[in-house]
Structure 1
Amino acid sequence: MDYAEFADSRLPALSRYAVMLTQDPHLAQDLVQETMVRVQLNWRRVARADSPDRYVRRMLTNQYLDWRRGSWLRRVLLRAEPDEALAVPGDHAEATADRDQIWAWLARLPRRQRAALVLRFYEDLPDAEIAEILGCAVGTVRASISRALATLRAQLVEV
């Protein structure tokens, strides 16, 4: 498989994964683009990996974890708070407000915890693969997921 075939086959999945991490489709596109440039520059190494897909997913995750540290990416995200008075029971707006609330809770989690949750529940990966992608021990993955879920539960109780 060459780079073009790999990119054609994996780009949609990598984009979905990046959206789950960044919570912003435009930032996700930037993240995927920058990662794929690095993949292309290092294609020989990527192609020799046991699992090129896992290798690239780890590259994307590391890029995401390091990306937010850069001062050039500090941006103000403007999102209107949903007006509960306008929500009609059973209306799709209520579901959208619920989804937005979940996004807001996820956004408050540390990057590593959010990445662990996305890899577990969105990508449906086992702990060992998550540990490999995040570059940590399996116990650290489990602890991160446990802390993240505890934080989310606490936020749910507050509402």
Structure 2
Amino acid sequence: MTDESLIAAHLRGDPAAFRELVERYADGLLRYLIHMTANRDQAEDLFQETFKKVHEKAHAFRGPAFKSWLFTIATRATIDHVRHRRRTAMLSLDRETDCGQESGSALVESLSAEDAPDPAEELVREERTQQVREAIASLPVKQRAALVLAYYQQLSYREVAEVMGCSLGTVKTQMSRALATLARKLPDSLSVTK
């Protein structure tokens, strides 16, 4: 079934249709939220909030692109969450993140994709991966969203613009700034390319 037909079935009261949508997008959405928040517990809360809003606003879906609509809801919830946290407490970007528990980290894996046959090489690879995570976590939320949507979720810039509710030019600017910041923060041996 297509996403659109599942939404239609959900609106008719079919609980299995909504479960199918959740199962279809759960892994990718949770990975995205973990990369955005650098905290699994917060990501799981935002995951629940996102699907709650999808459930409540299913009647407003005018799609053909459910994935873009879903990630739009998740991105807005994440941005609101980050803004709220900034108002209530300082964010600690030095804390240990749990992003490494997810296997879909295409950018991190590509930046540290060397096989590590011995412990010394494995340690270097882990250190590089951590440096990438910390650099991404330190980006402003809109730059981080553009980067994570483009690299981790493999959305086109046009899809990223739709999700973020901005122009294609704005996405390109956010990506350019994010990549420039990463280039400054990461060691010379690491390069970020798409």
TM bucket, shorter chain: 0.7 to 0.9
Name 1:109's counterpart in structure 2. 139
Q: 2:45 aligns with which of 11, 26, 30?
A: 30
Q: Which runs of 5+ in 1 are unaligned?
A: 81-87
TM-score by length of 2: 0.69
Name 1:89's counterpart in structure 2. 120
Name 2:78's counterpart in structure 1. 64
CA deviation string 1:20-54 (max 9, x = no partner): 211222211111111111111112223x4222221
- Larger % of helix: which? 1
Deviation at 1:93, TM superposition (A): 2.9
Q: 1:155 aligns with which of 185, 188, 192?
A: 185
Runs of at least 4 residues of structure 1 off by over 4 A? Answer: none
Q: Which runs of 5+ in 2 are unaligned?
A: 1-5, 11-17, 98-118, 190-194
Deviation at 1:127, TM superposition (A): 1.3
Number of residues of Structure 1 aligned to a counterpart in Structure 2 = 150
Q: 1:19 aligns with which of 29, 34, 47?
A: 34
CA RMSD of aligned residues (A): 2.3
Name 1:85's counterpart in structure 2. none
Name 1:83's counterpart in structure 2. none
TM-score by length of 1: 0.83
Is 1:5 the equivalent of 2:35? no
